[in-house]
């Protein structure tokens, strides 16, 4: 009876962790990507307004605020860069010190960022640079520590990871809420003081609903975590998974392919981080993420100037389209599960003879990677069309693609590489892609010089074609593994036939 109550309590805790983690990602983790809405408020508050200059042309004297737009673009460039780049040291920190320490760091960063925005004003516009960077860095840590919750639900692991990433995208709607409240008389300072106070919620989750170390995969029987009356069964995830890997059947391995070495380590040793980083899987996955992320960041960072240009500087129209963009971002949490379901669809069927679970996961990821690449190409094409009504469709494609992109990124890393390297590899791929995302600022400067971003959009659209190489590479690798398995099977059958003859 006591055991049944314990199991029921554990299931309730698992579900509560899942629900509150979703709420945390949805309301806090990725709010920095609602930049277009916040930028509208900041412009109204006069941030960087001293950079506007009066110019005289044929139509008379007008105000040129392109330097102001460049500074706002630079704030977002720095924040989005820090969002990704700091994921590398944070990933090492997370793998080494565990969930609790990482979340405490996230709370400190997030609180500092929200307080800096609350204390900033027109004269202290430069505070936006560290403020948005701290918010972005804290938010990605919330996402990173929550993605392991998928380990608690084995058959829906990829689905939950993608849902959390979709919630991360949808959290950009928080800045829209701040914009709407601002238009109804609630000050920017009050909104950010409220966000600072909400960090109490994160602290309570850290203590009661998250592990001190990590959630192992697969989850051991009767696994518990968090502060409770019952004694928690805490595991060292590296030791647990190392023991599990040693219990797997050994097979032929290649040092440069993490899929095989992770599934059956040579001489029962862990796959090195170096072999994962130098693999073709990691390289093309990095390219896949980087080119699409650059396309999204350039679009978000230049959305306000683009809308102003297409709407002939009409603030009502710009506000309308900014709201429409922010509302579509809310749908990210609804789109993301589709990607997870694509990647988990094989789990409802028995595995084919000789097919490992990891290889089946990898096969299921091919369609997800391909669809994500195709979505980005379509989004980039529509974003290049200089017609205002078309942007509604662009917004839909953008949120659909972003929800697939980041959820697929995390899910693929968890599938193709060993679990004990997840934090480091996730951090490394995000950091390296952040270096590429810095190109968004020179792209913005180039479009300003040309007076029209059309040619920059065309260049970025061509670059997105590189993303199609990744699903093709995974497909070819899976086909190669199938041929190897068939050859081994035929050799085994031949050996059995020869033995029976004698």
Predicted local distance difference test score (pLDDT) of residue 231: 47
Asked if residue 405 is part of any domain, the answer here is yes
Q: Are residues 23 and 34 in contact, defined by beta-carbon separation less than 8 angstroms?
A: no
What burial letters (b/e) apply to 84-120, b meaning 16+ CB within 10 Å?
A: bbbbbebbebbbeebbbebbbbbbebbbbbbbbbbeb
What's the pLDDT tens digit per position in 441-493? 888 888 877 777 888 999 999 999 999 999 999 999 888 887 877 777 677 66
Q: Which residues of 402-427 are buried (b: 16+ CB within 10 A; e: fewer)?
A: bbbbbbbbbbbbbbbbbbbbbbbbbb
pLDDT reported for residue 265: 31
**For the chain, how many helices (H) and strands (E)?**
23, 2
> If we measure between CA atoms, which residue out of 384, 381, 379 comes closest to residue 400?
379
Query: How far is it, in rounded angstroms, from Cα 333 to Cα 163?
Result: 6
SS3 content of the chain, % helix, strand, coil (to 5): 80, 0, 20
- Read off the DSSP letter of residue 336: H
Q: Please report, for the domain that includes residue 130, its CATH number.
A: 1.20.1250.20
**Residues 464, 299 contacting (CB under 8 angstroms):** no
| pLDDT tens column, 82-139 | 887 887 888 788 888 889 999 999 999 999 999 999 999 888 889 999 999 999 999 9
C-alpha–C-alpha distance, residues 313 and 190, integer Å? 29
DSSP code of 47? Answer: T
Please tell me the distance from the alpha carbon of residue 406 to that of residue 412, in angstroms, as a whole number. 10
- pLDDT attached to residue 282: 92
Q: Is residue 490 part of a domain?
A: no
Residue 26 is classified by DSSP as I
The pTM of this model reads: 0.72
* Domain membership flag for residue 58: no
Residue 500 within any structural domain of the chain = no
Domain-embedded: residue 498: no
Are 226 and 15 contacting, i.e. CB atoms less than 8 angstroms apart?
A: no
Structure confidence at residue 110 (pLDDT): 95
CA distance 382 to 397: 9
Q: How far apart are CA 83 and CA 261, in angstroms?
A: 31
Which residue range forms the structural domain that includes residue 86?
2-53+64-482
Residue 224 exposed, middle or buried by CB count within 10 Å (0-12, 13-18, 19+): middle
Domain total of the chain = 1
CA-wise closest residue to 460 among 473, 444, 474: 444
**Structural domain includes residue 488:** no
- Tell me the C-alpha distance between 407 and 420, whole Å: 19
pLDDT score, position 269? 44
CB distance 131 to 120 below 8 Å = yes
What tokens were used for 247?
Answer: 């219990």
Closest CA to 83 of 99, 103, 60, 106: 106
**Alpha carbons 361 and 172: distance in angstroms, whole number:** 30
For residue 41, is it within any domain? Answer: yes
Phi, psi of 171 (to 5 degrees): -65, -15
User: Is the residue at 491 inside a domain?
Assistant: no
Q: Is 116 helix (H, G, I), strand (E, B) or coil?
A: helix
For 384-421, where are the alpha helices, taking DSSP H only?
A: 390-416
Residues in a beta bridge with 62: 55
- Full pLDDT tens readout for the chain, 502 residues: 545 545 677 788 888 999 999 999 989 998 998 888 898 899 889 888 887 776 555 555 566 677 788 888 889 888 888 887 887 888 788 888 889 999 999 999 999 999 999 999 888 889 999 999 999 999 989 998 998 888 888 777 778 888 888 888 888 889 989 999 999 999 999 999 999 999 999 999 999 989 888 888 778 877 788 776 444 454 555 555 555 545 443 333 333 444 443 333 333 346 788 888 888 899 999 999 999 999 998 998 888 888 888 888 888 898 899 888 888 877 777 777 787 777 776 565 666 666 667 777 788 888 889 999 999 999 999 999 989 999 999 999 998 898 888 878 888 888 888 877 877 888 889 889 888 888 888 888 888 777 778 889 999 999 999 999 999 999 998 888 878 777 776 776 666 665 555 5
Instruction: Please name the residue that has the structure tokens 């793998």.
Output: 95
For residue 321, give the nearest of 306, 331, 334 by alpha carbon: 306
**Structure-token match 């599938």, residue found:** 415
Distance CA 293, CA 9 (A): 41
3-class SS at 393? helix
DSSP string, 282-308: HHHHHHHHHHHHHHHHHHHHTHHHHHH
Give the Cα separation of 428 and 277 in Å (integer).
9
Tokens encoding 95: 């793998």
Structural tokens at position 332? 């990210």
Does the N-terminal peptide bond of residue 68 adopt cis geometry, omega within 30 degrees of 0? no
What are the structure tokens assigned to 223, written together?
Answer: 């696994």
């Amino acid at each position: 009876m006591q055991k049944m109550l314990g199991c029921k309590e554990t299931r309730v805790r698992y579900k509560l962790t899942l629900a509150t983690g979703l709420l945390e990602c949805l309301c806090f983790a990725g709010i920095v990507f609602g930049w277009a809405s916040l930028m509208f408020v900041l412009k109204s508050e006069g941030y960087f307004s001293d950079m506007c200059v009066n110019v005289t042309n044929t139509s008379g004297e007008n105000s040129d605020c392109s330097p102001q737009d460049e500074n706002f673009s630079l704030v977002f460039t720095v924040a989005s860069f820090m969002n990704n780049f700091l994921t590398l040291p944070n990933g090492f920190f997370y793998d080494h010190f565990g969930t609790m320490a990482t979340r405490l760091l996230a709370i400190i960063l997030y609180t500092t960022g929200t307080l800096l925005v609350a204390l900033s004003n027109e004269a202290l516009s430069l505070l936006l640079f560290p403020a948005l960077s701290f918010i972005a860095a804290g938010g990605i840590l919330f996402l990173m520590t929550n993605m392991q919750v998928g380990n608690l639900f084995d058959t829906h692991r990829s689905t939950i990871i993608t849902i959390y990433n979709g919630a991360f995208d949808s959290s950009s709607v928080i800045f829209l809420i701040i914009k709407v409240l601002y238009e109804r008389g609630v000050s920017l300072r009050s909104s950010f003081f409220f966000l600072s106070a909400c960090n109490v919620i994160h602290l309570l989750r850290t203590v009661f609903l998250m592990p001190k170390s990590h959630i192992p995969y697969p989850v051991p029987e009767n696994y518990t975590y968090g502060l409770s009356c019952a004694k928690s069964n805490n595991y060292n995830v590296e030791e647990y998974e190392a023991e599990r890997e040693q219990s797997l059947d050994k097979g032929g391995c290649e040092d440069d392919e993490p899929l095989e070495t992770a599934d059956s380590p040579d001489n029962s040793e862990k796959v090195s981080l170096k072999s994962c980083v130098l693999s073709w899987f990691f390289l093309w996955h990095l390219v896949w993420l980087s080119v699409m992320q650059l396309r999204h960041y350039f679009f978000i960072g230049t959305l306000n100037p683009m809308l102003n240009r297409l709407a002939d500087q009409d603030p009502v129209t710009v506000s309308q389209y900014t709201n429409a963009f922010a509302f579509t971002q809310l749908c990210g949490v609804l789109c993301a599960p589709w990607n997870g379901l694509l990647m988990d669809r094989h789990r409802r069927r028995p595995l084919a003879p000789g097919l490992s679970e990891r290889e089946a996961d990898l096969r299921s990821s091919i369609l997800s990677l391909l669809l994500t690449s195709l979505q980005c190409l379509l989004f980039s094409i529509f974003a290049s069309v200089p017609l205002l009504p078309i942007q509604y469709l662009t917004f839909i494609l953008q949120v659909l693609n972003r929800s697939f992109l980041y959820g697929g990124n995390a899910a693929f890393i968890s599938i193709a590489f060993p679990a004990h390297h997840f934090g480091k590899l996730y951090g490394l791929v995000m950091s390296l892609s952040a270096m590429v995302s810095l190109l968004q600022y020179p792209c913005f400067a180039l479009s300003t010089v040309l007076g029209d971003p059309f040619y920059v959009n065309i260049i970025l659209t061509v670059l997105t074609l590189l993303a199609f190489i990744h699903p093709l590479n995974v497909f070819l690798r899976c086909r190669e593994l199938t041929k190897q398995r068939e050859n081994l099977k035929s050799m085994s059958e031949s050996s059995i036939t020869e033995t029976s003859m004698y």
